Amino acid sequence: MTTLAGKFFLDCRPNIAVSVELISGSVSPGPTAQERSLVSFTAFHYNRTDAAAWSVFRESNWTVGAGGMNPFTFGDDVLTVGSVTWSTTTNEVTIPVYGNYYVYVSGATLPNRAFGLTVHRNGRGVFGVYRTSSTYNGIDSLGHGLVMILDAGDRLKVVADPNTAGYSGQDSRHASFFGFLVV
């Protein structure tokens, strides 16, 4: 279901239950309504004849210097649906058809390190996830997504900001990048 499982889409049939299982760790609901809403599961029916989607993740930590990492490198295990193309050479997705796409990027911080991943469209930064503090000693998971109007031929990639670092492993796959055609 997620990049943690290596998949973003589930083939669900009528009358089949879908659940979320906590593999390790614990979830503390917190004292406030806002804290209790930090864990969520979202699902919806996705059945398009012109489907276009991708999902890719990274299974190792990274540290970049003053030059950043452009492009951010993901693994070779890429899921694409429809005529979406992913280049393992340039780490870019090429959009096949005009429309509204939901695009999402995520990652995890390392203790005492700044963090930044930015999604670029045709070479220009559009949005990303950032933590500028370098004094927090824990690991945070960060993610952000939005709906973008994309043209056929647009190229999207992720860039790691200068002087940042991130956590991602085979057990977690926190660094992920996915998207799909909505309308």
When pLDDT is averaged across residues 141-165 and rounded to a whole number, the result is: 92
Q: Is the dihedral of CA 148, 151, 152, 155 positive or negative?
A: negative
Helix (H) or strand (E) holding 143: strand 141-150
Q: Is the dihedral of CA 75, 78, 84, 88 positive or negative?
A: positive
Per-residue HEC secondary structure of 39-77 comes to CCCCCCCCCCCCCEEEEEECCCCEECCCCCECCCCCCCC
Domains in the chain, number: 1
- pLDDT tens, residue by residue, 3-18: 443 445 566 677 877 7
In a domain? residue 40: no
Give the pLDDT score at 29. 62
In a domain? residue 172: yes
Dihedral over alpha carbons 159, 59, 177, 64 (to 10 degrees): -10
Whole-structure pTM value? 0.76
In a domain? residue 1: no
For the ranges 45-49, 107-111, 170-174, 177-181, the lowest mean pLDDT is seen at 45-49
In a domain? residue 34: no
In a domain? residue 24: no
In a domain? residue 31: no
Cβ neighbours around 86 below 10 Å, total? 19
Highest mean pLDDT among 72-76, 93-97, 135-139: 93-97
Domain of residue 90, CATH code? 2.60.120.40
Give the pLDDT score at 34. 58
In a domain? residue 86: yes
Please, what is the average pLDDT of the chain? 80
Give the pLDDT score at 105. 92
pLDDT band at 27 (very low <50, low <70, confident <90, very high): low
In this model, does residue 2 exceed pLDDT 50?
A: no
153/71 Cα distance (integer angstroms): 18
Give the pLDDT score at 140. 73
- The CA angle 91-97-98, to the nearest 5 degrees, is 110
Q: Please give the structure tokens belonging to residue 11.
A: 């083939």
For residue 167, the 8-state DSSP code is B
Max Cα–Cα distance, the chain, nearest Å: 53
Give the pLDDT score at 113. 85
Give the pLDDT score at 4. 41
Which residues form the domain of 127? 51-181
Give the pLDDT score at 1. 36
Q: Please give the structure tokens belonging to residue 134.
A: 């370098």
pLDDT band at 60 (very low <50, low <70, confident <90, very high): confident
Give the pLDDT score at 75. 80
Q: Are 140 and 126 within 8 A, CB to CB?
A: no
- pLDDT tens, residue by residue, 92-129: 999 999 999 999 998 888 888 888 999 999 999 999 99
Mark residue 91 as left, alpha or beta (left: phi above 0; alpha: psi -120 to 50; beta: remaining): left
In a domain? residue 23: no
